[in-house]
Amino acid sequence: MRIELDDLTANNLGVLRKINSVVLPTKYSDAWYKESLTVGELAKLAYFNEIPVGAIRCALETKNDQKTKIYIMTVAVLAPYRGYGIGRRLIDHIIEYAKTVFVKEVYCHVWTRNDEALQWYLKLGFEKGVLVKEYYKKMDPPEDAYLLRLRIQ
């Protein structure tokens, strides 16, 4: 069993789009995918024995020209490949990157109906924060999400 991460490129951008469309309840615009090519280490594909099965896409937040937080926009692993540590490897990559740029917090939103994801993040050490009403505005009807945070040592 081999898990490898790879950079996002114009040649494999469709893989990110496909994984997200299969796993996630929301759709992302062409502009979002195009921007994904510009974020470097904050977007990765995960391969399980050379098969693309997962992806992560984050954003680096700054305040007063200082890097402050990393927001996990999407993390997705195809259902048959969950439980092999692929998602963990993606999150660990972001945590290690955060340390290199001196960021002390990684955070995300999790759909309130996705108890599997919520439990997974809590197991990774994220703390459950506030409930954000109608966070997923494009869903019909709009759905709520929990804010989860991980403080980095």
What's the number of domains the chain is made of?
1
| Nearest in space to 33 (alpha carbons), one of 51, 4, 7, 9 | 9
Examine the pLDDT at 16 and tell me if it is beyond 90. Answer: yes
pLDDT band at 125 (very low <50, low <70, confident <90, very high): very high
**Cα→Cα distances 128→58, 111, 152, Å:** 19, 12, 15
pLDDT of residue 82: 94
Of 33, 71, 84, 135, the catalytic one is 71
Q: Does the annotation count 71 as an active-site position?
A: yes
Question: Tokens 């997974």 label which residue?
Answer: 120
**Of the listed 47, 84, 93, 109, which one is catalytic?**
109
Q: What is the pLDDT of residue 136?
A: 85
Domain with 29, as residue range(s), is: 3-151
Digit-coded pLDDT (tens) for 33-87? 999 999 999 999 999 999 999 999 999 998 887 888 999 999 999 999 999 999 9
Q: What are phi and psi of 50, to 5 degrees?
A: 75, 10
Query: CA-to-CA distance for 78 and 53, rounded, in angstroms?
Result: 5
Any catalytic annotation for residue 28? no
CATH number at residue 65: 3.40.630.30
Q: Quote the pLDDT of residue 63.
A: 87
pTM: 0.92
